Amino acid sequence: MSEHNPLKNLSRERIILLALCSLCIVLVAIVLTASGIILAQESATDNNAWLVGVFITTAQLDIPSETPQGPIRANWRGHVNTDALFRPGRLYAQWCEIDEKFEFPDIEGIPFFVALSPPSERSPDGFYGLYNAPGIESHGMHVHHGDNSLHIDIEGTIHAVPGSQAQATVYKNRVFQTQSGDVFLEAALGGSSVHGISNEGDMLRQTFTASTTITERGVETSHSISVAVGVSAMFPPETIVILQMDENNQLVNRTMLAPSQQYETLYLAPITEYVIIETHRAIPPGTHGQAILREIISAGELGIATFYARDDGILEGSWIPLSWPE
């Protein structure tokens, strides 16, 4: 007759439980190890693309997140471009040979990025160009070259119409360039709006920074960039009045122009000594701002810089050339 020992049975249960736990831990470790390899590969691939700027839109981009990858294309060095697979959530630019620039043909927006062009006979190593368009006021580009480093600074301002009727919402979609030369963007998750703003002036300034180290033919090169984009509220000009004045401060001629039109050179009267520019603006009810702005233009100034409002509420720059008497 065997003796019943509950402590012995309990010990076996514990042993079985510990064995099962150990098996689970091993399985989890295997899964995590495999996942870690995949993530490391994805991270290494992503390190082959670096930030080059933004592409600004007034509507949120709807880029499918489950689109199948496209065919493998050849890059502009003639090699198979495995980095340029059309991945979900990315929209790739096209290189226009005629205009020598990158374009996103399927969407409307304002480019503001610095990218390296493909090699050509004129530029065998390519060249870094600032890609921008009317709708952003650029404050310049600064490129700093080192022995094995490249740093780029760009800064710009988007002007938008404020007030309760404002329509503009600014989305800053980040733009990247791969090591093989392709340029793509990723959709922004949120935007900046001037709806309900009653005053003029700077609203929001956002700076994107990134630093990447790439290795090519055994040489490490660091690539860093700073992209500062501000959003400023501005009431739209409706009429530009040009007052030509003589040396006795007497009115010589008065001209009214619409800032939204393109003008050829405006020839001033022979006795014109200086010009007064009156900018008549639309100030919505409930907002604060000067309806008329005045500025003096001295002899020799090349032209008049102004703005006009687009249908989406973004202000584009306009230029009126001036020709002074000899």
**Predicted confidence (pLDDT) per residue in 112-121, tens digit:** 999 988 888 7
Separation CA 37–CA 234 (nearest Å): 51
**Cβ neighbour number for residue 232 with a 10 Å cutoff:** 18
Q: Is 35 exposed, middle or buried (0-12, 13-18, 19+ CB in 10 A)?
A: exposed
**Residue 272 pLDDT:** 95
List C-alpha distances in Å: 195 to 136, 173, 236. Answer: 19, 20, 15
Separation CA 176–CA 174 (nearest Å): 7
Separation CA 312–CA 193 (nearest Å): 12
Residue type, 321: P
77 in the Ramachandran plot: left (φ > 0), alpha (ψ -120 to 50) or beta? alpha
201 in the Ramachandran plot: left (φ > 0), alpha (ψ -120 to 50) or beta? left
Q: Which residue, 283, 302, 9, is CA-closest to 161?
A: 283
Q: Is 77 exposed, middle or buried (0-12, 13-18, 19+ CB in 10 A)?
A: exposed
Q: By the 8 A CB rule, do 131 and 101 touch?
A: yes
Separation CA 246–CA 121 (nearest Å): 53
List C-alpha distances in Å: 311 to 161, 167, 262, 279. Answer: 10, 8, 17, 20
Residues of the chain with pLDDT under 70: 1-47, 64-88, 164-167, 194-196
Residue type, 287: T
**Residue 148 pLDDT:** 83
**Residue 24 pLDDT:** 42
**Residue 254 pLDDT:** 95
Considering only CA atoms, give the Rg of the chain.
Answer: 30
User: Looking at the DSSP assignment, which residues form a beta bridge with residue 245?
Assistant: 251, 274
**Residue 252 pLDDT:** 95
**Residue 213 pLDDT:** 82
Residue type, 60: Q
DSSP secondary structure of 251-274: EEEEEEE-TTS----EEPPTT--E
Domain parsing of the chain, residue ranges: 50-233, 237-323
